[in-house]
Structure 1
């Protein structure tokens, strides 16, 4: 099993920027990374000078041409970005670097999970998914067709046809099947997923959560039990996994703190809880990748979401360096 050296250093961290918002419900998430950079600049931080970075080519201009696909909108273009992310994450792990991924819409985290599986083909990868939404829809079940709601179904190779509401076209199905098989095998076992702050999902997704016994540490549970206890429980839940991937969608935080996101949902965790949660999770040496997504400056108020999100990014990075 590949492991990073015991002592993390700045030289062992690589930033992967994914400025894509084609799969989201609203445009603007592609600018979230610039909001982080602006916040860094205002804080007098040299964060984005301290680490090597790579920018993944996006396909955002496709929005001007429209898409013939309705069950999985822009799937042909979204698939290209997911494939690029997967290859970059795989390469980053092969270089013995720790990837910190900053994404626009959350669809591209499918590429992160696929890339991790490509890097660790024989290992079991656990997922801590901090998100208001389940992101377990498929082209067979999604009422909107927006692919930022489908990354976990891609990574777990699930169609969920038993509760289908529609039939994807031949072309959509071909792209979908190719995406799910990109790593050569299922990237993530659905039983190896743990949610935090999940609260906004639909019956088709609930079907999968129940079928596979997927745990959710709700906002109330995090509040009543405390972040450290919840993190201890999460690591017990995923103790059988060789590696752990942490995916942080900013809409897990209540819109009172993070208004600048495409699909806000009331009843989320506080900024302080999100900060502590991510800082505690990153301390575990099994964590092999950390990702944040879904900042939308167009919907923000005076870049408050960018400011809070940069604090989390910066502190998580510091915790990563200090605890390895």
Structure 2
């Protein structure tokens, strides 16, 4: 292991309880299988740590609007403290997650490690993930991580009445670090978001969150898009990049739980992440929602693994 590799830590999150479809917890093992098929030693070269969903919860959630919040909260808490510990060692963090709810733990953990810093978020996803239990039509919490980290209820658009237990867990999920939001919504930039509800768009407009559509990214080009993103976040001390594979068009990456058409091309997703990781303020990169149960060929997970491999190589070249 080189000195540079010692500066990188991978955290694997084996959970898909918050997702609409189960199977994302299998994504990490699919990446490892692809690595072996390609005869790489990627996972042998880097230090790995794992977080498991040990709830053994196979039944229906007791909650309607914050499904499995009682199971999700300890997973997010464990991830947050793991992220804090790794950042306190000044390591670069790669998180490989199941469903995307876990990224709330990543953001909380970054705030734990950098309590006095401005933290920026580049959110590459087909979905805005900024619903709360008060506004979500499904109650699936993989659509709520940004609301957790930004401590947003969006009561102006409220459609649901929560039980007292749901409120209790939601407050825990929002204020895991302190009585303040871990992330300011003004510090978020969206890329490739195209499947969202009016309640989420109300927040995007309220906080003036930049949203780079696929068409805009295509028109501007990757380099100009990345340059604009970092200009927007230039006052941030640390930047986190969260990459949900459903940001890619299902033509190229069908193996995800909530695919949405008209997404990024495979090459766009590759280059966008490679360029973002070059910035010295980026301290954490996350990939989520790989669901091999929905692959259409054995090569689907391999394509996703190649993004992971090349992004890591870009990191090593620029760290």
Alignment partner of 1:265 is 2:282: no
SS class of match (1:277) = helix
CA distance in 1, matches of 2:300, 2:236: 33
Cα deviations by residue, 1:188-215 (Å, 9 ceiling, x for unpaired): 1001100110000001101100000001
The answer for the alignment partner of 1:141 in structure 2 is 135
- Of 64-73 and 210-219, deviating more is 64-73
Do the aligned residues in 2 keep the contact of 1:227 with 1:277 (CA within 8 Å)?
yes
Query: How far off its partner does 1:59 sit?
Result: 4.1
Instruction: Give the distance between the partners of 1:179 and 1:165, measured in 2 at CA.
Output: 20
3-state SS of paired residue (2:96)? strand
Which one of the candidate residues 182, 200, 216 is aligned to 1:221? 216
2:174 corresponding residue in structure 1? 180
Q: 1:197 maps to which residue? A: 192
CA contact (8 A) 1:20 1:59 kept: no
Offset, 1:297: 0.6
Say which SS state the counterpart of residue 293 (structure 2) adopts: helix
Matched, 1:89 2:90: no
Give the whole-Å Cα distance in 1 for the aligned partners of 2:256 and 2:42.
Answer: 23
Distance apart, 1:174 and its partner CA: 0.5
| Residue 227 (structure 2) aligns with | 232
How many residues align? The count is 317
Secondary structure of the residue aligned to 2:56 is helix
The answer to whether structure 1 residue 48 and structure 2 residue 43 are counterparts is: yes
Q: How far, CA to CA, are the matches of 1:8 and 1:154 in structure 2?
A: 36
Alpha carbons 1:22, 1:60 under 8 Å: kept: no
CA distance in 1, matches of 2:298, 2:54: 25
> Pairwise mapping of residues 1-324 of structure 1 onto structure 2 (< 5 A)?
9-59=4-54, 61-62=56-57, 64-184=58-178, 185-324=180-319
CA distance in structure 1 between the aligned counterparts of 2:97 and 2:73, rounded to whole angstroms: 15
In 2 relative to 1, CA 90–311 (structure 1 residues): closer, same or farther, beyond 3 Å? same
Task: Decide whether aligned partners of structure 1 residues 101 and 240 sit closer, same or farther in structure 2, where only a CA change above 3 A counts.
Answer: same
Q: Deviations over 1:56-89 (max 9, x none)?
A: 0214621x23211000100010011000100100
Deviations 1:194-240 (A, max 9, x none): 01100000011011000000011110011111000000000001001
1:37 is displaced (CA, Å) by 0.4
| Alpha-carbon distance in structure 2 between the residues aligned to 1:316 and 1:289 | 12
Q: Which runs of 5+ in 2 are unaligned?
A: none
| Deviation of 1:8 (Å) | 7.2
RMSD, aligned CA: 1.1
| Residue matched to 1:3 | none
Shift of residue 310 of structure 1?
Answer: 0.6
The aligned residue for residue 4 of structure 1 is none
Whole-angstrom distance in 2 between the partners of 1:39 and 1:114: 31
